[in-house]
Amino acid sequence: MARNGDLTGEVHYPSQDIIRQANQPDYDRINQAMINDLAGEWGRIAKEEFEWFEPWQTTLDSSNAPFYKWFVGGKTNIVYNALDRHLDTWRRNKVALLWEGENYDQRTYTYHQLHREVCRFSSVLRAMGVRKGDRVTIYMGRIPELMISMLACAKIGAVHSVVYGGFSVEALHGRIEDSQSKVAITADGAWLRGNVVQLKDIMDEALQRAPTVQTVIVVKRTGQPVHMEPGRDLWYTDLMNLPIAAADCFTEVMDAEDPLFLLYTSGTTGKPKAIMHTHGGYMVGVATTLKWVFDLKDEDTWWCAADPGWITGHSYIVYGPLLLGATGLLYEGAPNHPFPDRWWDIAERHGITVLYTAPTAIRGLMRFGDAWPNRHDLSRLRLLGSVGEPINPEAWRWYHRVIGNGNCPIMDTWWQTETGHFMITPLPSTPLKPGSATKPFPGVQVDVLDEDGNPVGPNEEGYLVIKTPWPGMLRTIYGDPDRYVQQYWSRFPGMYMTGDSARRDEDGYIWVIGRVDDVIKVSGYRLGTAEIESALVSHPSVAEAAVIGVPDEVRGSVIYAYCILRAGVEPTQKLVEILRDHVGHEVGPIAKPTTIEFVNSLPKTRSGKIMRRVLKARALGLPEGDLSTLEE
Ligand code: WTA
């Protein structure tokens, strides 16, 4: 690719070496080919790169849009492609997973070993009556059994619903109940900063509120005594030592459009919703994006430092790397435990070549200074990545200069739980501008629109929309197809509404600004105002609550809550602490408000909607703007 000297602003060009070795060196060519024939190109990739038990008849079926279907009639199983097919190749003895515990425990699984564990656990689940289409809730820390559980479900056609191990009772309960899971898989506890997170206790409390679950399988990780409910709770190791844990276990033949997993995420209003992804399209999209954007090769050691309990982990810790036959690392604990160089120590010892993390982590580690990373040999790194929120140029430059030694391009990937895989992102050959996710992935067409649906001019802010279907797109909201249509496809008919605002500069580069709805990103974690508000009002002293996000230097945003107390309740500092802990207990520690302010009223529109814009202005001491719609 020729050096384009005409780009505006701060531009970082990739070296010729980087371009030469890239799996997909020519953005313009492939992008044009995909725009010309989207179904044709994806069909070609799906056929060349994956195994199908039976071919599909229609690559993309738009006849019932927005309920798009991909690879219609095709039969496959994502686990067949992620594990089984590697066993007859040299990759059988390649390391699939490197795992490091927070206490420096180490485990390594080759493809052979990982496949065997997955088969044995699949056999256990089958023997317990789990069948194709059944939902299974998984709630664990970052341990190999989390991945094994997900893969074991998918192998037998069960639909996993992973709940992030940092969530707590009510968040877990709501997700179990909505998915109607009969089986839950958890652990006794998880290590975090040297402390035990009591996962089993939280599960027990959640299950008191959700009686659908008949069986709980418990992995022993932290070893403290836990309650085991007779007739309901079973130890994972006990089951795996029974003859039912057979190592030969057939992989269920799945329709390309059969559900693979549910993942709950926060949206505009109300309860978290279950985003549904499928075996076929998700598989093709996730593996292809990973291959082109992070250029994964057999000699790489990939580290996606996210949590498997969020979409980033589903796509790029669990499925993507295994589909490519890559070696990936999973680390259990906190980035700065026991010292601020823990991550750099891991990167050096395991010889990480490609590292993918979030701006909040970069900013957090940047604060400890350059000396911590500088005492480690990070020279194996060749590409870096960022995801979860816009990366501020200062953090970008630090990441580039100190971690990447000035020669690792940074792939700033914009995407969502709903999109399944990267949507706006550089490829290694793309000239980079710090803070911009650059351009749409090949074949993806986006736009930035004003209130009336007209494209805005260069550098103007507007609604970010996607104009074309893509293979890994969510298929629906589980159990609520109307909400799927209403939430994503109604604001601008025929287009997918992302919920983000963005601007596009004169070079066509996209700069994502942030959410325009009631979603708050705290340390990159996606939380809904509604979930936190309902936790606050579930406390007997709170009559009404409104929550907003306010900017924070490290975490991106933090939670600011306004509460109206019930008559007679004293607004004390002690109550602030009680309410913060209550939110921590119901939703999870990440959802705890940093500030709680007691007020006598909340600004609402005449139709009763809380005017968060006004609250935000108040919290930040800014002008409150147009108040004409405020109720009397
Ligand atoms: C935000 C995470 C700017 C965005 C994969 C999106 C980003 C939301 C970026 C989805 C990025 C994600 N630059 N913003 N590179 N990546 N976002 O569902 O607001 O947890 O809508 O998926 O994160 O969050 P989710």
Residue-wise pLDDT for 133-153, tens only, equals 999 999 999 999 999 999 999
Q: Which of 315, 415, 466 to mutate to test the pocket of ligand 1 (most atoms within 8 A of CB)?
A: 415
Residue 148 has a pLDDT of 98
Verify whether ligand 1 is closer than 6 Å to residue 204 (CB atom). Answer: no
Q: Higher model confidence: residue 14 or residue 271?
A: 14
Tell me the per-residue pLDDT of 531-582, one tens digit each, with 9 for 90 and over.
Answer: 999 999 999 999 999 999 999 999 999 999 999 999 999 999 999 999 999 9
How long, in residues, is the chain? 632
Nearest 5°: phi and psi at 579? Answer: -70, -35
Centre of ligand 1 to C-alpha 300, Å, is 26
Mean pLDDT to the nearest integer, 302-328: 97
As beta bridge partners, residue 75 has 54, 255
CA distance 328 to 304: 8
Pocket test for ligand 1, best of 441, 517, 526 (most atoms within 8 A of CB): 526
pLDDT tens readout for residues 578-615: 999 999 999 999 999 999 999 999 998 888 888 888 99
Residue nearest to atom 25 of ligand 1 (CA): 416
CB 501 within 8 A of CB 513: yes
Nearest residue (by CA) to ligand 1, atom 11, is 414
Cα-to-centroid distance, 488 and ligand 1 (Å): 16
414 in ligand 1 pocket by Cβ < 6 Å?
yes
Looking at the DSSP bridge assignments, the partners of residue 466 are 446, 496
Residue 107 CA, ligand 1 centroid: distance in Å: 31
Reply yes or no on whether the pLDDT at 48 is more than 90.
Answer: yes
Q: What percent of the chain has pLDDT over 90?
A: 93
Segment 366-413, tens digit of pLDDT: 999 999 999 999 999 999 999 999 999 999 999 999 999 999 999 999
Q: Is the CB of 390 under 6 A from ligand 1?
A: yes
The SS3 call for residue 321 is: helix
Q: Give 82-116 pLDDT, tens digit per residue.
A: 999 999 999 999 999 999 999 999 999 999 999 99
Residue located nearest, by CA, to atom 5 of ligand 1? 416
| Atom number, ligand 1, closest to the C-alpha of residue 498 | 21
Ligand 1 atom nearest the C-alpha of 512 is 3
Task: Please check the confidence at residue 626 and state whether its pLDDT lies above 90.
Answer: no
Query: How far does the centroid of ligand 1 lie from the alpha carbon of residue 413, in Å?
Result: 8
- Asked which of 198-202, 447-451, 493-497, 628-632 is least confident by mean pLDDT, the reply is 628-632
Distance CA 356, CA 143 (A): 18
Burial 161-191 (b: 16+ CB within 10 A, else e): bbbbbbbbbbbbbbbbbbbebbbbbbbbbbb
Ligand 1 pocket: which of 387, 425, 498 to mutate (most atoms <8 Å of CB)?
387
List of residues 6+ apart from 276 with CB closer than 8 A: 259, 261, 262, 474, 475, 476, 477, 478
Task: Check if 312 has its Cβ closer than 6 Å to any atom of ligand 1.
Answer: yes
Cα Rg for the chain, rounded, in angstroms?
A: 24
What is the position in ligand 1's atom list of the atom closest to the CA of 310?
20
How far apart, in Å, are the Cα atoms of 171 and each of 180, 186, 453? 14, 15, 35
Query: In this structure, is the dihedral angle defined by the CA atoms of residues 463, 466, 472 and 474, taken in order, positive or negative?
Result: positive
- As a whole number of angstroms, the distance between CA 44 and CA 60 comes to 12
What are the angstrom distances between the C-alpha of 418 and each of 8, 262, 283, 463, 486?
Answer: 32, 11, 14, 17, 14
Residue 629: the pLDDT is: 73
Q: What are the DSSP calls for 48-67, one per residue? A: HHS--SB--SEEEE-TTTTS
Question: Which residue from 424, 418, 429, 420 is spatially nearest to 440, judged by alpha carbons?
Answer: 424
Query: What is the whole-number distance in angstroms between the Cα of residue 218 and the centre of ligand 1?
Result: 32
Average pLDDT, the chain: 96
Residue with CA at minimum distance from ligand 1 atom 7: 389
Q: Is the CB of 272 under 6 A from ligand 1?
A: no
416 lines ligand 1 (CB under 6 A): yes
CA 432 to each of CA 325, 399, 511: distance values in angstroms, whole numbers, following the listed order = 28, 14, 12
Q: Residue 3 pLDDT > 80, yes or no?
A: no
Enter the tokens of residue 59.
């690559």
Decide whether any atom of ligand 1 lies within 6 Å of the 438 Cβ.
no
A 10 A CB-CB count for 512 gives 20
For 232, the 3-state DSSP assignment is coil
Q: Is the CB of 326 under 6 A from ligand 1?
A: no
d(Cα 433, Cα 509) in Å, to the nearest integer? 8
Q: Residue 301 has which token pair?
A: 């050691």
| Mean local confidence (pLDDT), 290-302 | 98
- Ligand 1 centroid to Cα of residue 436, in Å, is 13
Long-range contacts of 605-611 (CB under 8 A, 24+ apart): 605/629, 605/630, 605/631, 606/631, 610/546
The pLDDT of residue 55: 98
| pLDDT tens profile 470-497 | 999 999 999 999 999 999 999 999 999 9
Residue 154: pLDDT above 80?
yes
517 pocket-lining for ligand 1 (C-beta < 6 Å): no
Residue 1, pLDDT above cutoff 60: no
Q: How far does the centroid of ligand 1 lie from the alpha carbon of residue 372, in Å?
A: 28
Region of 457 (left: φ > 0; alpha: ψ -120 to 50; beta: rest) is beta
Task: Kindly report the protein residue whose alpha carbon is nearest to atom 23 of ligand 1.
Answer: 388
**Closest Cα to atom 14, ligand 1: which residue?**
389
DSSP state of 90: G
Ligand 1 centroid–CA 246 distance in Å is 41
* Ligand 1 neighbourhood includes 311 CB (under 6 angstroms): yes
pLDDT of residue 37: 98
Dihedral sign of CA atoms 276, 278, 282, 283 in order: positive
| pLDDT confidence bin for 628, thresholds 50/70/90 | confident
Distance 441 CA to ligand 1 centre (A): 15
pLDDT for the residue 612: 87
Which residue puts its alpha carbon closest to atom 22 of ligand 1? 416
Q: Is 398 helix (H, G, I), strand (E, B) or coil?
A: helix
Q: Whose CA is nearest to atom 6 of ligand 1?
A: 416
38 Cα–ligand 1 center, Å: 24
- Index of the ligand 1 atom closest to the CA of residue 521: 23
Q: CA-based angle 189:193:196, to the nearest 5?
A: 20
Contact 181, 199 (CB under 8 A): no
Q: Is 388 in the pocket of ligand 1 (CB under 6 A)?
A: yes
Instruction: Evaluate: CB of 417 within 6 angstroms of ligand 1.
Output: yes
Give me ligand 1 centre to Cα 214, in Å. 36
Q: What is the pLDDT of residues 419-469, one digit of tens each?
A: 999 999 999 999 999 999 999 999 999 999 999 999 999 999 999 999 999
**Spacing, Cα 388 to ligand 1 middle (Å):** 4
Cβ of 265 below 6 Å from ligand 1: yes
What's residue 2's pLDDT? 39
d(CA 447, CA 531): 30
Counting from 1 in the atom list of ligand 1, the atom nearest the Cα of 265 is 18
Indicate the pLDDT class of residue 5, thresholds 50, 70 and 90.
low
What's the gap in Å between 568 CA and the centre of ligand 1?
42
Calculate how far, in angstroms, residue 504's C-alpha sits from the geometric centre of ligand 1: 17
